[in-house]
Amino acid sequence: MKLNRKFLSFYYDGVEEFPDYVIEPKKTMLLIVDLQNEFCLRDFGEALGFKEAGDWERWEPHYDRLEKVVIPNSRKILDFFRENGLPVSFGRIACLREDGEDRSPVQKTEGWNGMLLHVDSYAAEMVKELTPQKNEIVVNKTTDSVTTGTNYLQLLQNMGITTVVVCGIVTDQCVASTVRGLADAGYQVITIDDACAAPDMQLHDTELKIMNIIYTYVMEAKDIIKLIKEKL
């Protein structure tokens, strides 16, 4: 298995070999996290707030990466999974009540973590390039992790899944929380560097360095496709 050695932390510096994951394609689930209209479109949702606040120059590189790197690479992996009949899932921030009373306490607070995305709203939908299809699982959450307060872990168990490939945003928040939850539950986790992002890419790189090996193997989109293709 080709690992991304760019993200080796102090703990693993100097280690030359790591054990391979046992990859069984039919037991490998793709999980796309929070690539929703609210967070990804530069003329909608959060982006409008950054522009109104005069903060767009700081945020624009993040939206550039989403459009040019993260969404296209997530789509490449998604297409590969679909073409080969492999299981696909999506995790998204979405509450069930229009007034948001079912949200977690952190999402009810004011400031960065406060948000209200109703399950039926355009804001809560995945971006059009990543629209879920029939028989693809969509998990709604009002937490950072897809594994907290949802039935996602039970679904994985029911389906006999052993490995989860994770793409999405934000690397140091919802992606990291999800990766840790999956790893603690006993799943092999592969996180795709060039299909994830954080507004500050230093945070992205640091988080992947923290999680690599102990919680997940960090790979590139082309490498995970190649790896699974070899196992088909």
Q: Where are the domains of the chain?
A: 23-230
Burial string for 108-122 (b: 16+ CB within 10 Å, else e) reads beeeeeebbbebeee
What average pLDDT is seen over the chain?
96
Tens digit of pLDDT for each residue in 57-74? 999 999 999 999 999 999
Q: Which pLDDT value is given to residue 88?
A: 99
Nearest to 130 by CA among 21, 4, 41: 41
Tell me which of 61-65, 108-112, 146-150, 182-186 is least confident.
Answer: 108-112
Nearest to 25 by CA among 164, 153, 215: 164
Joined tokens for residue 96: 């069930």
Tell me which of 18-22, 85-89, 178-182 is least confident.
Answer: 18-22
Tens digit of pLDDT for each residue in 179-228? 999 999 999 999 999 999 999 999 999 999 999 999 999 999 999 999 99
Which CATH code, of 3.30.470.20, 2.40.420.20, 3.40.50.850, 3.40.640.10, is assigned to 23-230?
Answer: 3.40.50.850
Residues contacting residue 108 through CB under 8 Å, at least 6 positions apart: 100, 114
The mean pLDDT value for 76-101 works out to 98
Q: How far apart (Å, rounded) are the C-alpha atoms in residues 114 and 25?
A: 38
The mean pLDDT value for 139-148 works out to 96
